[in-house]
């Protein structure tokens, strides 16, 4: 494998003794992040906030750790968030409606969760004087063509502007934006693994490209934002991409494929940084930071990192393109038994 990623930081943030709450905490990211906190850090408490009581029960049975608290609630419910955020030091906002086609057919529900829910998280964090808030965004928020991406773009704007509302409070808001997490809920990888048993894979478009990131890397990006975020910044990893055809060949070599066409709201290529955003981008070896355009709250200003070229963009169609062998090696490394 010729593609390799270096660590994002020399040392993670100091989370010892902290009370950390994760919205959407029973989802793929929330469960993985909780496990990382328990194994690599010494938090005083990890609060898993989610509306799915059954997932709470299953997660509790798996972890069996007295440091974890399970708080049933919905980000749409501002008063419930107020209660949950009491005494919390750090909030990681991962709750969202994330399936593109579901959001297309249920737009009001997506807005209530992804936009109104984000506003509620901000209000509760300010009211309860939470120290740090990190929100999870997506490549689909950059020049969105579907409702899911549009709601996540709104969420990004809300979280950046929230720094202006902090006033004398210590609360600081930052974001991370990344591509498809391999194997997470809704990922095509588990679908292809299941379909290869039947002998035929369904492909939307052979030339479609997608960014790929492992769950550990996604968690590292959140920890990086917690450690280095100055307020109103968006952290973006330098990650590779591949075509759907390459992914299919890596997972099921030689298996027949059926082209089913692009689904409602899908792009042929995804973007993590748009040309218009390039004016405020700071480039580092393994990541980028989009600095706030209007830091009216008067906080510290990022002075490190190199500027990118004018009209620079970071797209899955122009990012490092993994070969079939590289894709297979990456999937094997992440535990998805491609070979």
pLDDT tens digits for range 33-87: 999 999 999 999 999 999 999 999 999 999 999 999 999 999 999 999 999 999 9
Q: Higher pLDDT residue, 181 or 283?
A: 283
Answer yes or no: is pLDDT of 2 > 60: no
Domain chopping of the chain, boundaries = 19-182+212-240+272-315
Mean pLDDT of 94-100: 94
Bridge partners of 178? Answer: 138
Mean pLDDT of 7-14: 94
CA pseudo-torsion sign 327, 328, 329, 331: positive
Burial of 323 (0-12, 13-18, 19+ CB in 10 A): middle
Mean pLDDT of 128-140: 97
Closest Cα partner for 142 from 5, 306, 314? 314
- What CA–CA distance (Å, rounded) separates 186 from 245? 18
Mean pLDDT of 244-260: 92
Contact assessment for residue 314 and residue 287, using Cβ atoms and an 8 Å cutoff: no
- Name the strand (E) or helix (H) holding 193: helix 188-198
Given this model, what pLDDT does residue 1 score?
A: 42
Strand segments (E) across 33-107: 45-50, 68-72, 90-93
Read off the pLDDT of residues 118-130 as tens digits, 9 standing for 90 and up: 999 999 999 999 9
Bridge partners of 22? Answer: 48, 92
Label residue 330 by pLDDT band (50, 70, 90): confident
Answer yes or no: is pLDDT of 216 > 60: yes
Give Cα separations from 288 to 36, 163, 198, 277 (angstroms).
23, 20, 41, 11
- Predicted TM-score (pTM) of this structure: 0.94
Q: Which residues of 261-275 are buried (b: 16+ CB within 10 A; e: fewer)?
A: eeeebbbebbbbbbb
Read off the pLDDT of residues 298-321 as tens digits, 9 standing for 90 and up: 888 999 999 999 999 999 999 999
User: Does domain 19-182+212-240+272-315 fall into CATH 3.40.190.10?
Assistant: no
CA pseudo-torsion sign 325, 328, 334, 337: negative
Q: Which residues are catalytic?
A: 140
């Amino acid at each position: 494998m010729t593609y390799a990623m270096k660590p994002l930081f020399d040392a993670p943030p100091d989370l010892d003794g902290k009370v950390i709450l994760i919205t959407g905490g029973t989802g793929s990211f929330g469960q993985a992040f909780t496990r990382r906190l328990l194994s690599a850090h010494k938090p005083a408490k990890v609060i898993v906030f989610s509306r799915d009581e059954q997932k709470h029960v299953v997660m509790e049975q798996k972890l069996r750790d007295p440091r974890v608290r399970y708080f049933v609630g919905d980000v749409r419910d501002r008063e419930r968030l107020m209660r949950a955020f009491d005494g919390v030091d750090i909030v990681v906002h991962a709750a969202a409606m994330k399936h593109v086609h579901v959001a297309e057919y249920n737009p009001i529900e997506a807005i209530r969760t992804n936009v109104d829910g984000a506003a509620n998280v901000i209000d509760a964090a300010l009211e309860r004087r939470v120290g740090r808030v990190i929100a999870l965004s997506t490549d689909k928020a950059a020049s969105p063509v579907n409702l899911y991406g549009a709601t996540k773009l709104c969420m990004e704007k809300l979280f950046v502007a929230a720094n202006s509302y902090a006033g004398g409070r210590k609360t600081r808001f930052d974001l991370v934006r990344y591509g498809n997490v391999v194997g997470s809920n809704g990922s095509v990888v588990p679908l292809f693994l299941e379909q290869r048993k039947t002998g035929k894979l369904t492909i939307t478009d052979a030339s479609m490209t997608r960014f790929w990131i492992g769950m550990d890397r996604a968690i590292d990006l959140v920890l990086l934002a917690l450690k280095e975020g100055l307020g109103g910044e968006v952290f973006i990893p330098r990650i590779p991409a591949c075509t759907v055809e390459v992914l299919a060949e890596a997972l099921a070599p030689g298996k027949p494929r059926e082209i089913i066409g692009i689904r409602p709201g899908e792009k042929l290529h995804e973007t993590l940084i748009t040309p218009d955003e390039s004016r405020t981008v700071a480039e580092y070896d393994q990541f980028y930071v989009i600095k706030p355009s209007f830091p009216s709250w008067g906080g510290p200003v990022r002075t490190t990192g190199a500027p990118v070229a004018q009209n620079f963009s970071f797209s899955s169609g122009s990012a490092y393109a993994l070969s079939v062998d590289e894709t297979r090696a990456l999937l094997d490394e992440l535990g998805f038994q491609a070979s």
